[in-house]
């Protein structure tokens, strides 16, 4: 058996039953990284001796959690005391935090094995780094959680942390064809994670199964996230083309339409869903609030080392600096009103589906357009990428399953229910 094909929860069960060692699994991941990382560029920092010692320690203990002994990776904007955290920027090259971020500490306490740091774009913004799409090296893996998506897709690691302030988690998950959860904003402790705009910043999770996401998020949220969809309940799903439908390429339109039909064939009620008309401007509102926040959070680096920042980051900071207090306050207040009322907008729908991204991962290094994520990031709702199909270039196409705020467990349960035995959809 190629151990790198195991999902995290499947591997953990084997480890708990003494049918597999954490050391063997960690060695398999490290071998895969050695073979592939030169081309893909997903991992930024590794220490095989450290990770194997952590795995050996896990093998010597009784299982502490559903992911005991399983390797995990951490995006390079999340603090780790045993690896550098450089925020994807030369400004912080070699920076070594004194403590793990809260999420990393919880995973280590749960007996999981810290495998290393994966690539983030510069300060988790838009400027691409070295990571390439594992399925086609001429294409982007998305961003800013580039290394997160690529490493899980390429079987370098079963699970990995990313985060999202605009579209940084869902988009690379969709491009790379893995499951990705951006949970309800504010559900976990974000200490030790680079702040950009705290009103949007959300820790996220990627894996190759929803069961893995449930276990992963359960450990970090310190709440049981595992649940099954009631067998006697017929899901009601809203098909939302969003106000950004013009950005959807043919493959995203085709896959969304086909998957909606498949869900209906399998017992779901699927109906058209529309957000209120005043939500059409939410991408612009998100931009105004985000850029002003970035300008404040990166002010010290901007003043000290502007010459080491990319042009695109400098433009974002300076646009944020030019935003007046009145403009910011008005945008923030509108965003907050929309967030506070969002659950009512779901009416009697259990979830909404819409495109995860405009289409397949584009050719080149640019990380892609976050247009299909920013509205949901602003609203603070849980979003789960479902890797349901592929496009004309054979690259993945996903859809988002979106739920009410603080209804994450329901979305995960519904996602497992909808994806059971679902055959991949080819865009037409």
What confidence tens digit (pLDDT) does each residue in 25-73 have? 999 999 999 999 999 999 999 999 999 999 999 999 999 999 999 999 9
Which residue carries 């099954």 as its tokens?
228
Share of the chain above pLDDT 70, in %: 100
Please compute the mean of the pLDDT values over residues 15-26 and round it to a whole number.
Answer: 98
State residue 21's pLDDT score. 98
Q: What band does 197 get if pLDDT is binned at 50, 70 and 90?
A: very high
pLDDT tens track for 158-174? 999 999 999 999 999 99
Mean pLDDT across 264-280: 96
Q: How confident is the model at residue 297 (pLDDT cuts 50, 70, 90)?
A: very high
What is the β-pairing status of strands 425-426 and 383-390? parallel
Cα–Cα distance for residue pair 377/200, rounded to 1 Å? 6
Per-domain residue ranges for the chain?
Answer: 3-221
pLDDT on residue 64:
97
Asked whether residue 382 carries a pLDDT value surpassing 90, the answer given is yes
Tens digits of residue pLDDT in 216-268: 999 999 999 999 999 999 999 999 999 999 999 999 999 999 999 999 999 99
Report whether pLDDT(1) > 90: no
Q: Output the pLDDT for position 215.
A: 98
> Top-level CATH class of 3-221?
alpha beta
Residue 428 pLDDT:
79
Omega prior to 225 cis, within 30 of 0: no
Give the model confidence (pLDDT) of 110-161 as tens digits: 999 999 999 999 999 999 999 999 999 999 999 999 999 999 999 999 999 9
């Amino acid at each position: 058996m190629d151990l790198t094909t195991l999902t995290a929860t499947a591997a953990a069960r084997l480890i708990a039953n003494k049918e597999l060692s954490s050391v063997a699994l960690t060695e398999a991941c490290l071998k895969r990284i050695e073979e592939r990382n030169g081309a893909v560029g997903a991992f930024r920092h590794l220490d095989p001796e450290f990770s194997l010692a952590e795995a050996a320690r896990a093998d010597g203990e009784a299982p502490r959690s559903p992911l005991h002994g399983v390797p995990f990776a951490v995006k390079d904007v999340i603090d780790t005391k045993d690896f550098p955290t450089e925020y994807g920027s030369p400004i912080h090259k070699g920076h070594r935090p004194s403590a793990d971020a809260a999420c990393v500490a919880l995973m280590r306490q749960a007996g999981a094995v810290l495998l290393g740091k994966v690539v983030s774009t510069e300060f988790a913004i838009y400027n691409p780094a070295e990571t390439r799409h594992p399925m086609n090296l001429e294409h982007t893996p998305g961003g800013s959680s580039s290394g997160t998506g690529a490493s899980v897709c390429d079987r370098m690691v079963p699970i990995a942390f990313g985060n999202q302030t605009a579209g940084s988690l869902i988009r690379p998950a969709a491009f790379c064809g893995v499951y990705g959860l951006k949970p309800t904003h504010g559900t976990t402790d974000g200490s030790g994670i680079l702040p950009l705009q705290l009103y949007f910043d959300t820790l996220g999770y990627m894996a190759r199964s929803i069961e893995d996401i449930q276990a992963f998020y359960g450990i970090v949220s310190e709440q049981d996230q595992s649940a099954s969809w009631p067998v006697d309940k017929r899901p009601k799903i809203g098909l939302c083309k969003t106000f950004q439908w013009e950005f959807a390429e043919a493959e995203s339109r085709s896959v969304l339409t086909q998957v909606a039909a498949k869900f209906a064939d399998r017992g779901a009620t699927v109906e058209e869903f529309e957000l209120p008309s005043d939500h059409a401007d939410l991408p612009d509102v998100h931009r105004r609030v985000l850029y002003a926040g970035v300008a404040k959070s990166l002010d010290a680096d901007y003043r000290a080392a502007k010459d080491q920042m990319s042009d695109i980051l400098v433009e974002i900071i300076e646009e944020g600096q030019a935003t007046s207090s009145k403009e910011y306050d008005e945008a923030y207040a509108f965003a907050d009103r929309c967030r506070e009322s969002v659950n009512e907008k779901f009416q009697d729908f259990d979830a909404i589906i819409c495109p995860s991204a405009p289409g397949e991962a584009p050719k080149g290094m640019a990380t892609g357009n976050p247009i299909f994520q920013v509205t949901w990031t602003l609203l603070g709702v849980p979003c789960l990428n479902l890797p349901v199909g592929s496009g004309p270039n054979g690259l993945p196409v996903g859809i988002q399953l979106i739920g009410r705020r603080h209804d994450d467990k329901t979305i995960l349960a519904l996602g497992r229910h909808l994806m059971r035995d679902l055959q991949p959809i080819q865009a037409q």
